[in-house]
Structure 1
Amino acid sequence: MAKRVEASAPSQAFLFGEHAVLYEKPALAAGVERRARVIVKKGRENQILITSSAYAEPYKGTISSETIVGKGNPDLGPIALGIFNLLDMLDKRTGLEILIDSSIPIGSGMASSASVAAAVSKAISCFLGCELEGNGLLEAVYEFERIIHGKASKTGPACAVYGGLVWVEWIKGEMIASRIEFENQLPLVMICSKESTKTKEMIRRVSELRSRHKDVIDGILDLIAKITLDGRDAILSGNLDRVGALMNLNHWLLSALGVSTQELDRIVWIARKEGALGAKLSGGGGGGCVVAIARDPDVLISKLKSADLEAFNIPIAKEGARIERVEGSV
């Protein structure tokens, strides 16, 4: 067993298909180079101590035969439960100290929880001598997401696990995620609102709207699915103008589902006015970020910052979750 393991995982830019993917439609996203980093060390027996740079208060939990019970920052509680389930899946019982340091804005729609879960799962499994990879790691991260969000997509977990361009589709009632290899440039910019995304609430809102207007909402979901398929083809062929136009359409359909906000719409319009080929909300909505595509991202970022908006480049991650460092052995 190592003395200390450090792992990292990328975050997500949701390009096409959010919300629709929960109704057996395809989705397309990218793992991007804003990473969560996690350090794992041996802790006291049957104790899980989680410290995060995002919160002043840590979380300390005690592992029992059936669950983990603890106190501290409530936002770290679901991560502790996810760790308990991970240890159960790995058939391991041990105390751990976990330090989380993430450059991903919380509540941004960049799947920060999935990135943290991927880095945590990668580091812990390596620390315990049974490193998870591929689909095994994806399923572990997806379990964290179900704890945190309830009804969840595999899109964020797949971006964190695989990196690159991620395709999610439904086959025989099962959500399947895979990485698509492509060689073209995809110059993306992320623009943050000052609103936190409300994924659970937005998922519930769409579900309730669909229960009242099923035919209409299913029609919108079908249109989003068509846009997603066309968006994949446009990206693979390098047609950035078409990618942008489809992103614009996807945004207004998401707005029709009630998951955009006045501020997100405003940011989309500003981004397009300042030269973006297209822009849309990214992720669950109700706040969070807008993802834009531009021929010259640096020029767009400069103009957006002049408009008092927080914007930054998001290069496509060539690698997904990875081990950064392993120190010593006990």
Structure 2
Amino acid sequence: MKNIGYGKANGKIILMGEHAVVYGEPAIAFPFSATTITATIRPSDSFRLHCSYYKGSLEKAPFTLKSIKTLVQQLEKEYPIGPILIEIDSTIPAERGMGSSAAVAVAITRAFFDLLDKPLSQEELLAYVEHAEQIAHGNPSGIDAAATSGNNPIYFRRGQPFTPFDLNVEAFLVVADTGIKGQTRTAVKDVAYAVEMEHELVEPVMPRIHRLGQLTREAKEAISQNQVQKLADTMNEAQTHLKELTVSNDLLDTLIHAAIDAGALGAKLTGGGRGGCMIALTNTKEEAQVVCKALEKNGAVATWIQGLGVHTYA
């Protein structure tokens, strides 16, 4: 066993397919390496956790950290190495739809196995993370775990295997944090109610759901064929439908308009909506920087830029 173990995970972004994925339509998620979580584990005199939210005994950690406690207990049960100190450093904002809880579990599991100096397969990693995510979210789809631990975009449909594919679009993605916790459960519930009451609505909901699915398919094709403008067009139309489904809010709308006015090709909310984050697409990094400034001027509390395809490490 080593003296210290390190583990790292990245954030995740839902590019297309929010809400529609609940009704059998596809969605696209991908790793967002501009935000990361690093876990460090070393032997200690007691089980302790140090993170931005809490420093102290793991046993006395607040309920919001129960998934971490459960994960460590499972790891320790299978590999009893004695008391450890877990230190977590994160730039992934919590409750913004960026996969923070899954990323924490990925980073801790990787750090634990690094401390053991033991290889860890992707299948084993995902099994541990799924166990932690069941505590955090009840019935996770697994997409957060796959996206925060992998390197490729993922095309997925409910109940079907995830399909990784190459990110092959010469563009840059801006992500902006509204500073408002996402309201995923409420938004999903409200969309479900609208679907249930569709027969009483002037404009049916399901055609929008199906169109969001079709836009996701078109976005995947655009990414594969390096069609930046087509990808942007799918994002813009998707936002129109998401807004009609009532999962946007005033600040998201303001930021989306600000991004377009600042030169973004496309912009939309990402994740559950009614808070959380929004995304915008640009051709160049310089254009992305201009968009970031406009978003911060209009209320975004943080912005990030990630290159796509050949620009991933730019």
**Aligned residue number for residue 157 of structure 2:** 169
TM-score by length of 2: 0.85
Aligned-pair identity (%): 25
Identify the structure with the greater strand proportion: 1
Aligned counterpart for 2:64 among listed residues 40, 53, 75: 75
1:107-153: per-residue Cα shift (whole Å, max 9, x none)? 22222222212111211233234443323322332332232122333
Question: What pairs up with 1:157-236 in 2 under 5 angstroms?
Answer: 157-170=145-158, 174-213=159-198, 216-236=204-224
TM-score by length of 1: 0.81
**Aligned residue number for residue 262 of structure 2:** 274
Q: More displaced, 31-40 or 197-206? A: 197-206
Q: CA RMSD in A?
A: 2.6
Summarize the Cα distance change of 1:83–1:198 in structure 2 as closer, same or farther, 3 Å threshold.
Answer: farther
**How big is the shift at 1:306?**
4.0
**Aligned residue number for residue 30 of structure 1:** 30
**Aligned residue number for residue 108 of structure 1:** 96
Instruction: Provide the secondary structure at the position in 1 that maps to 2:132.
Output: helix
Contact 1:145 1:152 (C-alpha < 8 Å) held by counterparts: yes
**Aligned residue number for residue 65 of structure 1:** none
Question: What pairs up with 1:76-95 in 2 under 5 angstroms?
Answer: 76-87=65-76, 91-93=78-80, 94-95=82-83
User: How many equivalent pairs are there?
Assistant: 301
Q: Work out which structure has the larger RCO, using CA pairs closer than 8 Å and 6 or more positions apart in sequence.
A: 1
Aligned equivalents of 2:191 and 2:72: distance in 1?
Answer: 30
Aligned equivalents of 1:20 and 1:142: distance in 2?
Answer: 23
Aligned equivalents of 2:135 and 2:192: distance in 1?
Answer: 19
1:25-81: per-residue Cα shift (whole Å, max 9, x none)? 22112212211111112244xx6422212x1x33534xxxxxxxx323332222212
Summarize the Cα distance change of 1:84–1:210 in structure 2 as closer, same or farther, 3 Å threshold.
Answer: farther
Q: More displaced, 127-136 or 101-110? A: 127-136
Contact 1:8 1:36 (C-alpha < 8 Å) held by counterparts: yes
Query: Runs of 5+ in structure 1 lacking a partner?
Result: 62-69, 319-330
Aligned equivalents of 2:215 and 2:132: distance in 1?
Answer: 29
Q: More displaced, 79-88 or 161-170? A: 79-88
**Aligned residue number for residue 288 of structure 2:** 297
Aligned equivalents of 2:48 and 2:68: distance in 1?
Answer: 11
**How big is the shift at 1:225?**
1.3
Instruction: Provide the secondary structure at the position in 2 that maps to 1:176.
Output: coil
Aligned equivalents of 1:317 and 1:51: distance in 2?
Answer: 35
**Aligned residue number for residue 132 of structure 1:** 120
**How big is the shift at 1:230?**
0.6
Contact 2:96 2:275 (C-alpha < 8 Å) held by counterparts: yes
Summarize the Cα distance change of 1:143–1:258 in structure 2 as closer, same or farther, 3 Å threshold.
Answer: farther
Summarize the Cα distance change of 1:269–1:27 in structure 2 as closer, same or farther, 3 Å threshold.
Answer: same
Summarize the Cα distance change of 1:260–1:86 in structure 2 as closer, same or farther, 3 Å threshold.
Answer: farther
**Aligned residue number for residue 305 of structure 2:** 313
Instruction: Provide the secondary structure at the position in 2 that maps to 1:203.
Output: helix
